[in-house]
Amino acid sequence: MRRRLFIASSLSAALAGCSAIGTRLNDTRFHDVLNSAEPFDHLVLGTRGLAKEYAEADVDRNFRVNGFETPMDSAYATLMNGSYRAYRLVIDGAVERPRRLSLAQLRGMRLQTNITRHDCVEGWSAIGKFRGVRLSDVLQIAQPRPQARYVVFHCMDRSPEGLPYYESLNMHQASHPQALLVLDLNDRPIDADHGAPLRLRVPTQLGYKSAKWIARIEVVASFATIFSGRGGYWEDQGYEWYAGI
């Protein structure tokens, strides 16, 4: 099957155009399409295949900025002004060895690079060169317990209403070889507007799954009690959780 943005193409057919993502939250047709597509995507596309990788010449050097506003609180400003030297990635929850990893420690691990396409639910795409640590390698350090089923990403950005952004993957998705905790975008350390100091990159799923400004990774048996219990900020607003492409 040719790799394509199944959900986005379905949305296009259903809505006949692309509006701002905030406007779509009130469109019941939008959510009906998302929810009906989820079982089909998971069955037919799954998460075992690899996303297409592109050549250097295909990279969008001015990679589009999207999502919520870059964090502007004093805690983030302090991190940014200190070149993120004080940053620590917290890994806790259902793990044997909770960790607080610095960027230097992450950079000291085996780094991977992939040039893949970011597909946004709003209908646009961009190709970026992403370099970072495999999520699976970081989780292995913390040693998830047998009851671990999901990985929850708690982020530093907030919605216009002040709600914190978060996302989640199941353990199978988190073990995908192209799932990265990104340190560099297009051969430069990732900048604040693109999610510094650390962002997730999951090229087999829609862009809202690739959380930015990650502060903490929580390993859990269930996300039912986290915020509204649907596994992510946008999912709590009615978006599908799987979001596969």
Could you tell me if residue 196 is inside a domain?
A: yes
Could you tell me if residue 135 is inside a domain?
A: yes
- How far is 171 from 34, CA to CA, in rounded Å? 22
CB contact at 8 A, 38 and 240: yes
Could you tell me if residue 163 is inside a domain?
A: yes
Is residue 24 scored above 60 in pLDDT?
A: no
Region 151-158: mean pLDDT is 98
The verdict on 187 and 116 lying in the same domain is yes
Q: What is the DSSP letter of 199?
A: E
Q: How many domains does the chain have?
A: 2
The verdict on 182 and 97 lying in the same domain is yes
Could you tell me if residue 79 is inside a domain?
A: yes
Token digits of residue 42:
């998971």
Q: Measuring CA to CA, which residue among 114, 243, 94, 70 is closest to residue 168?
A: 243
The verdict on 19 and 112 lying in the same domain is no
Region 83-112: mean pLDDT is 98
The verdict on 93 and 198 lying in the same domain is yes
Q: Measuring CA to CA, which residue among 124, 127, 125, 84 is closest to residue 107?
A: 84
> Which of 34-38, 92-96, 157-161, 203-207 is the least confident region?
34-38
Is residue 85 scored above 80 in pLDDT?
A: yes
- Domain of residue 7 covers 1-35
User: pLDDT-based confidence at 245, cuts 50/70/90?
Assistant: confident
Q: Which pTM was predicted?
A: 0.82
The verdict on 143 and 188 lying in the same domain is yes
- What CATH number should be reported for the domain holding residue 138? 3.90.420.10
Could you tell me if residue 43 is inside a domain?
A: no
- How far is 216 from 141, CA to CA, in rounded Å? 15
The verdict on 212 and 131 lying in the same domain is yes
